[in-house]
Structure 1
Amino acid sequence: MSAGLDGVLGRPKAEWTPSRDAYLVELFIEQHNLGRTAYNEYKNVIRSVTHDFNKKFGTNLEENQIKNRYNVMKKDYGIVKALLSNTVCRMVVADDKVWDSYITVRSEARPFRRKSFPLYKQMSIIFEGERANGKKLASQIPRIQFEHCYREANRSADMLARMGANQSSSFSLHSSPPEDVKPLLEFDNSELYLNRRYPITLVNF
């Protein structure tokens, strides 16, 4: 694999191999075992992992490059988890008709049609642990209560949730409302409301 530039100020391009990916996952598992995750010490985790990774391979990667690889792994893990049918060999097994049908709906799964995902079990420690820590964090907040709310009642929150589901990073902090949310906030401030329509089934007696 030849060296290149990452396109940012002549930064050396990160070269990822199976052995490097495996060691990177191992480093994140070590951080997880120390109780440091993306939910509580994300910056410190990335900084520590970057240092140890560069020391191991004699590279000079930046924290953003490690963070980007982490996000790619997290995305791939989510894709494989959604379609995994053979957890023994870490490879999805299905006939061509099933694959063709699935890829029509979920095109992002195409790369895994002929490719194994050997680090699935190890990645589950990291990413499933993140979800568990998120639930644990919520449980530590006093008097917290979750209630269902129709999207028409809070379209701003609905838009933020959609944006979060589609973003590659695990955490985003906004100093001001995103552009897509601003008009929704203005609508909320107008004190107008939206009706929600329900289908009605007529019954003849």
Structure 2
Amino acid sequence: MAKAQQRPTVSYLIIRKSAVFLAAQLLTIELVFLLAAVLFLWAGPSLVTVPAGVTPPVIVGIGVTAALTSLLIKLILVLGAILVWVNEFYEIRHGEILHHYGVIARHRQVYSTRDVKAMVIDQDMGGRLFRYGTIHLHNPALEAPIVLEHIPNPNRCQTLIAEFLPEIEGKTTFLRPGGVATS
């Protein structure tokens, strides 16, 4: 007789913010530097006057130095955006949610989920298009709800989170823009 397959137990769940927001930050950085380069190439020659006696190799050297400095600044901004995204996540455990954030100074907020009675998913048009949303966990013992912002695929995460929250009553509510709620 074959043994019945047992479902593996999970002791915690890690959820990061949607990668859409990382891509938006990287695209913004790219567009700002592209705009700066276009403005420099368009307006640069009319703004700069070359003093007499300056040789073309000196001008090229200044241009190369400016380009490398711009590239270094862009690289630092891109790495910073990636590090912030990688180091911010939610850790869902039985009885608590931990929000980890910070690159240099690491921070951790701990929320008790023992009395969570409801879970609400807030998803706007952009969220439905790019599959992200915000999950609100309502705990009567806390003044404000626990908010998990910009979670990828909130419908799937809701079912995973519900396994860690046995006290939830009823169905999850989905909020649409304009105050329309569906279950």
* TM-score band, normalised by shorter chain: under 0.3
Higher radius of gyration, 1 or 2? 2
Question: Structure 1 or 2: larger strand share?
Answer: 2
What is the TM-score of this pair, normalised by structure 2?
A: 0.23
| Higher-RCO chain (CA-CA 8 Å, sequence separation at least 6) | 2
- Bigger helix fraction: 1
Question: So what's the TM-score if we normalise by structure 1?
Answer: 0.21
